[in-house]
Amino acid sequence: MKILSKMCASALLLTSTLYASQAAYPGTSLTSQSGFGLNQGQAFIGIGVTDKVNGKTNTTGAMVFGLGFGNSTKTVGFEVDTIISSIDTRDGGFGEDGNFNVKVHKLINSTTAISAGVEGIADWGTKYDGKSYYIALTKAFFMPNALIIGIGFGDGRFLDNNHQEDTVDAFASISYDITSRISAILDYTGGITKIGCSFVPFKDTPLVATIYADDIAKHSGATATSASLTYALNY
């Protein structure tokens, strides 16, 4: 369920004038982590659904709430995400299971950021996949639309199922903004390749929708369809 919750949010400081007049930016990754994160006063709420889990048909979903603290430009930013991994009342009841993610991130310059974090640092209920530690670096290039490349290393959910003896595995993502409101994304996490798109439905509303094919190479046995909606907030 960490994978579902991750796809709900994508934070990136896009300084190009191409994006100056809209309320949100399309997503830059699917389930891999980003070097960017939330700062003080920034927040989001998201919901994600998928039609398969571990290769088996089983529609399920998750909700995530994120809060930012600190300032990644002056010092460091600190993001805390609360994941509700049980939102179906037929599956143990709403809010019965969940966990917390934390991330520390630093803006190297206006287009580059690095982060380190822990997914599942604490939990409640019975649906718990353990902790996943990671580091991530993300770089944006403007041509003039944004090309965003992310790389990183992690354990836990970032490990390929065929490489469980490894200490860490690499993950990566690349996205290109077809327009300022639509991005195409290729993502590799935990040995699974995903391809999809993200878009901002309304120019003046901070809402981002993402849909993608999960495991296009059928590494885990079947390709799933996943989707999410994320709404950005200020506090």
Q: Rounded CA gap, 43 and 60, in Å?
A: 24
Q: For residues 203 and 21, is the Cβ–Cβ distance under 8 A?
A: yes
**Helix ranges (DSSP H) in 142-182:** none
pLDDT tens per residue across span 76-129 = 999 999 998 877 666 666 778 889 999 999 999 989 999 999 999 999 987 777
Q: What is the average per-residue pLDDT within 25-31?
A: 91
Q: What are the structural domains, with CATH classification, of the chain? A: 2-234 (2.40.160.40)
DSSP for residue 97: S
Query: What band does 56 get if pLDDT is binned at 50, 70 and 90?
Result: low
Q: For residues 137 and 41, is the Cβ–Cβ distance under 8 A?
A: no
pLDDT tens per residue across span 123-156 = 998 777 789 999 999 999 988 889 999 999 999 9
Beta pairing partners, 105: 77, 115
In the chain, what percentage of residues exceed pLDDT 90? 59
**Structure token digits, residue 169:** 């595995």
- The one-letter amino acid code at 215 reads D
Q: Rounded CA gap, 100 and 90, in Å?
A: 23
Distances 133 to 32, 62, 130, 142 between C-alpha atoms, Å: 12, 21, 10, 30
Burial class (CB in 10 A: 0-12, 13-18, 19+), 87: buried
Flag the least confident range among 30-44, 45-59, 132-146. Answer: 45-59
Q: What is the average per-residue pLDDT within 24-35?
A: 92
Structure confidence at residue 54 (pLDDT): 54
Say yes or no to pLDDT of 14 above 90.
Answer: no
